[in-house]
Amino acid sequence: MARIVFTANLARHIDCPADEAEGATVREALEAVFRTNERLRGYVLDDQSALRRHMAIVVDGKPLRDRVTLSDPISAASAIYVLQALSGG
Amino acid sequence: MSDHVVVSTRKGLFTIERDSGDWRISGADFLGDNVTLFFHDQRSGHDYAALNHGHFGAKLHRRSNGRWEEIATPAYPLKPEGLVDRDGWGKDIPYSLINIFSLEAGGPEEDGLLWCGTIPGGLFRSRDHGGTWELIRALWDHPKRQQWSGGGTDWPAIHSICVDPRDSAIVRIGISCGGVWETRDGGETWACRADGMFAAFLPPEMSRDPNLQDPHCLVQSPSAPDRLWAQHHNGIFRSDDGSASWREIVDVPPSSFGFAVAVHPREPDTAWFAPAIKDERRIPVDGKLVVTRTRDGGRTFDVLREGLPQSHAYDVVYRHAMAIDESGDRLAFATTTGGLYLTEDQGDHWREISHTLPPAHAVRFAP
C-alpha cells in the first residue's frame, strides 16, 4: 500500500496522521483516506475535487502533474506527501 | 446596551468586554488563524466564525455552550462538463468556495435559518444552524449573474444580507460588483434593485446599469425598513422605497468614498460612515482618521474626530468592520492597521481600545 503523509500544519486543524492506502492513482489513494476522514477532503481538495490552489502533492519525489483529476499513477511502494505550497503564504 | 465587541482579524478572533466603564480585550480564539467574520445568532445563542486558511480554504465554526466546533462549509455544486460560466469581464468563474463574505440570521420566526453570501457569488441558506447548506439556485442560475464581476476581489462577492424585519421572505443582498438584488419570496425569484446608482469608472453607456454597480456595504433601517443606506464605490446612496430606487448623497466631507456604513436602530436618518481618499489610494484624508455622521438623511454631516488619531493615520475600515449596538449609542470600528475604536455617545467621543491588533476584517457587538 502507498504511504500518505500530510503536512504537520494540517494537524492543527484536523486529525490526519500518516496513513496507508491502496490505489492505482493519487486520486484513488486519497479517496481511500477520505472515506474514513471525510472532513479532511475539504482541506486538501476544492469543491470540484481538484487539488486546492495553494496545496501541493509530491509523489515519489516528483510534483503532482495532474492537479485536476489527480490521475498520476502510484505503486504499492509509493510515498505521497500532501504539503502546503509556499504560494499560499 | 451591548457590553461585548468581537473583532475578526487576520490573526484571530478577539473579544472585548466592558468592565467597570473600561473596555478590555478579554478573549482570543483561533489565535494565528485568519478569521474573516463573526456572527452571533440572538435566536439560538450560537456564535459563528468564518475562517479562511491560506492553504486549506474557507471554513465555518459554531460555538454553543462555550465550545467551538467546525461545521459544514457551503459548497458549490459539481460544474457540468463543458459548461462555460464567465463573469462580466470574461473570466471563468470557479465553482468552488473562495471566501465566506456575509453571514446573517433569517427572521425571528425562522429558527436555525441562516443566509451566507460568498465569493465567487453564490448565496447559500441553512435551515439547521449551519449543519447543512443549499445553494440558492434561482440566483446562481439567473442569466444576469454572469454580468457580475469582482470588486476588490477576483470574483463577485455577496457582502451584505438584509432580511426585511416586516417579512422574512424579503431579503436584499449587496454584491461587489452586481448591485443590489431582492427576493420577495424567500429566494425563489430575484430581481436587481439598484436603479439610480452609478459607477463613474465605467464607460457612460454602462455606468448606470444596475447590475454592474459596486455597493461596498448595504444596511437597512430596522425602524423604517424602506430606508436603506449604501456605501458605494462611487459614494453614498440612499433608498426610501425599499431599494426600488437610489439617490446619491452629495457634498460629504471629507470624502464620500469608503467601505463601511452603520444605521441607527431607531432613527433612519442617522447613519455613520468611515471615509477615505478614493479610489486607488484608499487612505484617510490628510492622514486623519475620522468618522462621518448624518442625522438628517444625508443633507448634512458631522465629521467626528475626537479621540481618533489625527496625524499620519493610514487606517482603512473595511466594509464589515464598523458596527452599532442595539442602543444606537455605542459604535465600534477596527482598521487595517490594527486599531480598534469605540464610542458610547454616537461618535462624539472615541476611545482607542487597541492599536496593536492584527489587521481587522469585521466587527460585531454581542451580548
Q: What are B63-114's pLDDT values in tens digits?
A: 999 999 999 999 999 999 999 999 999 999 999 999 999 999 999 999 999 9
Per-residue pLDDT, A20: 95
Handedness of CA B160, B212, B279, B269 (dihedral sign): negative
> Alpha helices, DSSP H only, in A1-89?
26-36, 38-44
Handedness of CA B180, B259, B55, B10 (dihedral sign): negative
The overall average pLDDT reported for chain B is 97
Per-residue pLDDT, A87: 78
Per-residue pLDDT, B274: 97
Q: Determine whether the interchain pair B57/A52 forms a contact, defined as Cβ–Cβ distance below 8 Å.
A: yes
Q: Determine whether the interchain pair A42/B96 forms a contact, defined as Cβ–Cβ distance below 8 Å.
A: no
Per-residue pLDDT, A49: 97
Question: What's the DSSP call for residue B358?
Answer: P
- pLDDT (tens digit, 9 = 90+) per residue, B212-237? 999 999 999 999 999 999 999 999 99
The minimum CA-CA distance between A47 and chain B, rounded to whole Å, is 5
ipTM for this model: 0.93
Give the span between the Cα atoms of B347 and B35, in whole angstroms.
Answer: 27
Per-residue pLDDT, B130: 98
The overall average pLDDT reported for chain A is 95
* Residue B69 Cα to chain centre, angstroms: 24
Strand B228-232 relative to strand B215-220, pairing: antiparallel
Residue B14's nearest CA partner among B335, B357, B326 is B357
Superfamily, domain A2-88: Beta-grasp domain (3.10.20.30)
Give the span between the Cα atoms of B343 and B341, in whole angstroms.
Answer: 7
Domain boundaries, chain A: 2-88
Whether the CB-CB separation of B51 and B36 falls below 8 Å is answered with yes
Give the span between the Cα atoms of B328 and B101, in whole angstroms.
Answer: 25
Grid coordinates standing for B127? 435551515
Q: Cβ of A25 under 8 Å from any chain B Cβ? A: no
Residues of A in contact with B56 (CB under 8 A): 10, 13, 42-44, 52, 55
Is A67 a residue whose pLDDT tops 80? Answer: yes
Whether the CB-CB separation of B218 and B174 falls below 8 Å is answered with yes
CB atoms under 10 Å from CB of B108, counted, come to 11
- pLDDT (tens digit, 9 = 90+) per residue, A18-59? 999 999 999 999 999 999 999 999 999 999 999 999 999 999
Q: Cβ of B143 under 8 Å from any chain A Cβ? A: no
